[in-house]
Amino acid sequence: MVRVFADNMFVRMLCISVLVLLIFCTNISDAQNNTHCSSSCGDIHNINFPFRLKSDPGNCGDSRFQLDCQHNRTVITFNSRKYNVLEINYDEFLIRATDPGLEHTNSNCTSSPNYLTTSYPYSSTFDFGISIIPIIYVNCLATVNSSRYVETTFCGSQNQSHTYVAIGEGMLISDLAESCRVEMVGWGSARGLSGDNTSLSSIEGALSYGFDLSWKRTFLCRECEASQGNCFAEGDGYTCSHRCYDDTGFDLPLPCSIHYYGVLTILYGGIVIVSILSLRLLFGLVFLTALIVYKWRRRHLSMYQSIEDFLQVQSNLLPIKYSYSEIKKMTNKFKEKLGEGAYGTVFKGKLRSGPFVAVKMMHQSMASGQEFISEVSTIGRIHHVNIVQLVGFCVEGSKRALVYEFMLNGSLDKYISPREGTVSLSYKQMFGISLGVASGIDYLHRGCDMQILHFDIKPHNILLDENFNPKISDFGLAKLYSSDDSIVSLTAARGTMGYMAPELFYKNIGGVSYKADVYSYGMLLMEMAGRRKNM
């Protein structure tokens, strides 16, 4: 019987060895096929693994690193936009690219990028090189006397106001002059700077040099991610970490493909008694509890990390970031509550410099944090007299807060149907408020490089300052779309019943567009004209 068992074990080991050998040989064959592929386009020669041209055979390179050859220029498609490739450095895992619009030089004006953006570009395949710097294009109503701004003329621009270009590294939104707004952002490299960073030639050099994209993480972490591991930077390289559990419930730093059979063997070979069953049940409960805690922590840590990653790459042009202790201090431990909405509770606070602010503490039930990201990314880039200003924000673990300018007269809803002791607004004031709200909505739809749809225009979200000037607030449901999109896509209806346009929940009557905000504005006007709440 022992001999039969030994023979069976030998056959099993032989089969496993042959299988491993076949997999190893297949991997070597695939690697050789990928290595021997090489192609060229224009000035870029010896294009090989992991890159491939669109015209290369299917076994060449990695499809995530596909390039195209257009008019004898090597082109990389990144975030659905095409950039010209200037250089590929396989030793440093870097590919240098540039916006096609920045390659057309003109001594009389400054070239602007073809792709207008005010946000940091993001990719799951590439990381940005450490030398990348934002170049901001600024439009001002008055002359700005600052060494940081270099006055110039944008090629093709018909604007008669003052236009400037500046290096935006380390620049906060509060650094902008009051009469200025950011028109667009270009991406350059510090390697292209020459001499004084405030000279026009140096800034144009940084733009024409392009920006570096690194595929080091994607290339080195592919095996780790395939085995469900966590790949993270450590020193000059990357480390792969696995966390898994055995039948005893202990957390082990081993690859999760390893299984443990020792406990099962003992159980099958031993006598099943009540004490062992009780012990196994106890270990099972410990394991289940540990697994639930692990899954919960992993989900929430992933959520917090996605928010931190977003805020980190957006840090050049975002408002001030506060700690949670600073939030508690400015609100006097959340002493004075101003109101509560669907996504958070608002408290009155005071900055160290003196001005009052409204602090919105977000509810922890927001599982994905998308409302927080949407509000910061949307309102953080807007500067308009009829849109509430975002002063700062807080992200610390599960604690998230938004700090707005304080509106002395609160929201419009309490003036539409005034209660006893509330000031009644005149029709002239109502007319001025309606014009201000319309101006703010028009700016959201047509005044930015991307159209911003609010999806929640209602009296509660219209705040009034000390002079009863209206400001649109609460961008938790807002979405950004290309200004060329006349019809936009939504996965679910959003807004407040009674103010939502019919096409948001009746899909068969037409597509969703900026007219959804116009409909909500119309319902707002009806309530203002009738001086009573219809909803």
Binding-site members are: 360
Closest to 516 measured CA to CA, from 455, 464, 467, 470: 455
Residue with tokens 């096929």: 33
Task: Confirm whether 442 is a catalytic residue.
Answer: no
In the numeric block, which tokens belong to residue 147? 């060494």
Considering all CA atoms of the chain, what is the largest pairwise distance in Å, rounded to the nearest integer?
102
The alpha helices in 314-462, defined as continuous H runs, are 324-330, 370-379, 413-416, 427-446
| Residue 472: both structure tokens together | 């649109």
Nearest to 165 by CA among 192, 136, 145: 136
* 50 cis-preceded (ω within 30 degrees of 0): yes
Q: What secondary structure letter does DSSP report for 154?
A: B
Known binding-site residues for ATP equal 360
Answer for the pair 461, 431: CB distance below 8 angstroms, yes or no.
no
Q: Which of 78, 76, 83, 90 is nearest to 35 (CA)?
A: 90
C-alpha 179/C-alpha 197 separation (Å) is 23
Q: Is 501 left (phi over 0), alpha (psi -120 to 50) or beta?
A: beta
- In 168-290, where do the E strands start and end? 180-189, 211-214, 230-234, 237-241, 244-245, 251-252
Candidates 99, 127, 212, 456; catalytic one: 456
Phi, psi of 349 (to 5 degrees): -140, 175
Helix-strand-coil percent breakdown of the chain, rounded to 5?
35, 25, 40
Distance (Å, whole) CA 177 – CA 99: 28
> Residue 87, SS3?
strand
Helix (H, G, I), strand (E, B) or coil at 133: strand
Please choose, from the candidates 347, 386, 522, 358, the residue with its C-alpha nearest in 3D space to the C-alpha of residue 464.
386
User: How many C-beta atoms lie closer than 10 Å to residue 4's C-beta?
Assistant: 8
Query: Measuring CA to CA, how many Å separate 400 from each of 120, 376, 404, 491?
Result: 21, 11, 14, 25
Catalytically active residues are 456
